[in-house]
A and B are shown apart, each in its own frame.
Chain A
Amino acid sequence: MTGMDLIGFIVVFILATYLGASLIGRVPPTLHTPLMSGANAVSGITVVGAMAVAGHTDYGWLGSVLGFIAIVFAMMNVVGGYAVTDRMLEMFKKGPQGGAK
């Protein structure tokens, strides 16, 4: 990574942190649990890195093993996170008749 590249990444990281803070600050407390499980799903984005490791023949057998486990872990995050968040959010209904099925 060249110096300029690194600075670019740091800028992106800091701006994204601020963006995250301002977005999350406005999430009502009633949605904090789905927010956390949803955030879990987003952090499963490491699957992209894991796939790059597992799909690259250069990394040898150890790379394949590490990559495979990393993909399994990240996918548990992705699918588990999104699916359970959806399950929860489906239950949130507005009154007064909203509770009725």
Chain B
Amino acid sequence: MIGIGLERLLYLVATVLFITGLKQLQSPETARKGNQISAAGMLLAIVITLLSTKTMTYGTIMAGLLVGGAVGLYMARSVAMTSMPQMVALLNGVGGGSSLLVATAEYLHMYEKGEAATLDVALSTHLGVLIGAVTLTGSAIAWAKLQEVMTGKAITFGGQKTVNGLLFAVIAGLAAWLIVVPTAPLWAFYALIGLSLLLGVLLVIPIGGADMPVVISLLNSYSGIAAAMTGFVIKSEVLVVSGALVGSSGIILSQIMCKAMNRSLGNVLFGAFGAAAGKSSKSSEGLTVASTNVEEAALQLAYAQQVIIVPGYGLAVAQAQHQVRELMDLIEKRGGTVKFAIHPVAGRMPGHMNVLLAEANIPYDKLIDMDDINPEFERTDVCLVIGANDVVNPAARTDPSSPIFGMPILNADQAKRCIVMKRGMSAGFAGIENELFYNPKTQMLFGDAKGTLTKLVAEVKQV
């Protein structure tokens, strides 16, 4: 049993460990250690709470710790790297759910004792409930979309924004009533929870699958803010600080994603971008596509001084990362250099492509961010685009009428040659024609990524 003063001091130590851990994430070399430092902070926080004078019974706590820990460990061990977005969505959801439950329990406790909550406690309770509930159900929908349990398309209906607006107004009204009149009936509080859960669903269903990276970043932020609100309710500095850290992290990542797509956060959340397929601004009629075969492509790659590979999500779907790694090794053995150009929205969440390539043992210093790699394309002999489309579409630079105009892209068209590996001529997420495919410097290599790469590797070996 430890005193309140020492308790707060030790919580502060835990907080400092979280911050140190985050700081270590600024470099891939120290990141793993940073994560462990952060985990040590969490362990400390849990131990302090166990020893706290306020704790009276241990049975429920221990059972909860064991069950939750076991489920978490199982998930972490078994999840495939391609499914990381779903995992993060799920974790966001349970984080929000946990805050919701704690805020609810605190409210009911106060209500039963007949204690009128002070304004600030009442306000943070209801905010915690609202944000926690929205995070819980919103994440569940995001998970279902990513897992393809439900359609990835935007689900829209007439008057959707009005319905959401009204719903939000009712929630705010209920919260105001509960705050101003502490003796308000309990059903009002339950209604607040129910409607907040509904709001979470309605907010995420109109967002298309392609925008999920932004949504999960934002829900990540919400789960942090909900934790901070809970911190205000139970007067815990460590919750407030940790929640705020996570809250700002999620917001920053959402902004980075939006910038990379040249869209505002509002447009992503309310624009229902995935609803109707965008019209191609330019017709492809009269333009011809040059296709090539594996032998020819292998020759070009084998004799190239510098090759830049642009990986898209199609590469990960085909699980062809290991073949790419083999191809890289072969080209490097012949004296060429290989670099990977990573667009911020490659993959299905921020940094997803980097993890998928790291899993295939591709060193992280080969993975170059968009801003750093773009000047290199001019000096590149062959640019190999695998399963990427919109992120290499020059229309984003040149065609003001294109829906993706202004989106920062990888300048694959500036390489001396460009080989695009693709299944067929279908358009990308945005549903737009890609001028790069009709560029005289470009050759299309049709086929599925894994099979074609395997053949390509075999051919390069023989050159």
Chain A contacts to B: CB under 8 angstroms: 1, 5-6, 9, 12-14, 16-21, 23-60, 62-64, 66-96, 98-101
Q: Which residues of B contact A41 (CB under 8 A)?
A: 35, 38-39, 42
Q: Are the C-beta atoms of A74 and B238 separated by less than 8 Å?
A: no
Expressed in whole angstroms, the Cα–Cα distance for A17 and B19 within the complex equals 12
Contact of A20 among B55, B232, B249, B351 (CB under 8 A): B249
Does B247 touch A at the CB level, under 8 Å? yes
Whether B253 contacts A92 by the Cβ 8 Å rule is no
Cβ A55 vs Cβ B68 within 8 A: no
Quick check: B109 and A75 within 8 Å, CB to CB?
no
B contact residues around A24 at 8 Å (CB): 22, 248-249, 252-253
| B92 located at the interface, meaning its Cβ lies under 8 Å from any Cβ of chain A in the complex | yes
Residue of A nearest to B245 (CB): A20
Residues B72 and A78 in contact, CB atoms below 8 Å apart: yes
216-261 of chain B: CB within 8 A of chain A: 216-217, 220, 223-224, 226-228, 230-253, 256
Instruction: Name the prevailing secondary structure of the B interface residues.
Output: helix
Q: Report which residue of B65, B235, B342 has the largest number of chain A beta carbons within 10 angstroms of its beta carbon.
A: B65
A82 contacts across to B, CB distance below 8 A:
35, 38-39, 42, 76
For B38, what are the chain A residues with a Cβ–Cβ distance below 8 Å?
38, 41-42, 82
Does A75 lie within 8 Å of B69, measured CB to CB?
A: yes
Residues of B close to A78: CB separation below 8 A: 42, 46, 68-69, 72
In the complex, what residues of A have CB within 8 A of residue B63's CB?
Answer: 68
The answer to whether B71 and A71 have CB atoms under 8 Å apart is no
CB of B285 closer than 8 Å to a CB of A: no
Cβ contacts under 8 Å, A76 to chain B: 68, 71-72, 75, 91, 94
Contact A79 B243 (CB under 8 A): no
B102 contacts the other chain (Cβ, under 8 Å)?
A: yes
Interface residue? B118 (CB, 8 A): yes
The interface residues of chain B lying within 8 Å CB-to-CB of A39 are 220, 224, 245-246, 249-250
The residue in chain B whose Cβ has the minimal distance to the Cβ of A6 is B120
Cα A18 to Cα B354 in complex, Å, equals 27
5 shortest interchain CB distances as A-B pairs: A75-B68, A71-B64, A32-B351, A95-B363, A80-B72
Which residues of B sit under 8 angstroms from A95, Cβ to Cβ?
363-366
Q: A29-B350, A43-B242, A75-B64 are in contact. Are A48 and B217 (CB under 8 A)?
A: no
What B residues does A19 contact at CB under 8 A? 19, 244-245
B9 interface residue, CB < 8 Å from A?
A: no
Excluding A13-B228, A72-B67, 19 further A-B contacts by CB distance (< 8 Å) are A9-B240, A29-B256, A29-B354, A36-B249, A38-B21, A38-B35, A39-B220, A43-B224, A43-B242, A49-B102, A50-B102, A51-B64, A70-B98, A75-B64, A75-B65, A77-B72, A80-B91, A81-B72, A94-B365
Contact, CB under 8 Å: A43 / B72:
no
- Does B104 have its Cβ within 8 Å of any Cβ on chain A? yes
Known: A24-B248, A46-B98. A33 touches B64 (CB 8 A): no
Given A86-B35, A98-B363, check contact A46 B121 (CB 8 Å).
no
Partner of B245, one of A23, A31, A46, A83: A23
Binds A, one of B77-85, B154-162, B381-389, B441-449: B77-85
26 sample A-B contacts, Cβ–Cβ < 8 Å, listed by A number: A1-B118, A1-B121, A12-B241, A17-B244, A17-B245, A31-B28, A36-B249, A37-B84, A43-B223, A43-B243, A46-B239, A48-B45, A49-B231, A51-B61, A52-B52, A53-B106, A54-B60, A55-B61, A57-B57, A66-B102, A67-B105, A75-B64, A78-B46, A78-B72, A98-B365, A99-B361
Q: How far is the CA of A92 from the CA of B206 in the complex (A)?
A: 36
B49 within 8 A of A: yes
- The answer to whether A79 and B73 touch (CB under 8 A), given A44-B95, A68-B60, A89-B32, is yes
Q: How far apart sit A85 and B24, CA to CA, in the bound complex (Å)?
A: 13
Q: Is the CB of B95 within 8 A of A40?
A: yes
Q: Are B109 and A1 in contact (CB under 8 A)?
A: no
B95 and A73: CB pair below 8 A?
yes
Question: Given known contacts A23-B22, A30-B367, A32-B351, is B56 in contact with A57 (CB within 8 Å)?
Answer: yes
CB-based contact A71/B68 at 8 Å: yes
Establish whether residues B49 and A48, one from each chain, have CB atoms under 8 Å apart when the complex forms: yes
Taken together as a complex, chains A and B put the C-alpha atoms of A10 and B183 apart, in Å, by 27
Q: Any chain A CB within 8 A of the CB of B203? A: no
| Contact of A58 with B109 in the complex, beta carbons under 8 Å | yes
Residue among A12, A67, A84 with the highest chain B CB neighbour number at 10 A: A84
B273 smallest CB distance to A (angstroms) = 22
Contact of B98 among A6, A14, A20, A77 (CB under 8 A): A77
Inter-chain contact B79/A96, CB cutoff 8 Å: no
With a cutoff of 8 Å between Cβ atoms, the chain B residues found around residue A12 in the complex are: 237, 240-241, 244
B377 within 8 A of A: no
Q: Which residues B265-298 have CB closer than 8 A to chain A?
A: none
Answer whether A50 and B240 are a contact pair too, CB < 8 Å, given A36-B220, A79-B72. no
CA distance A92 to B120 in the complex (A): 45
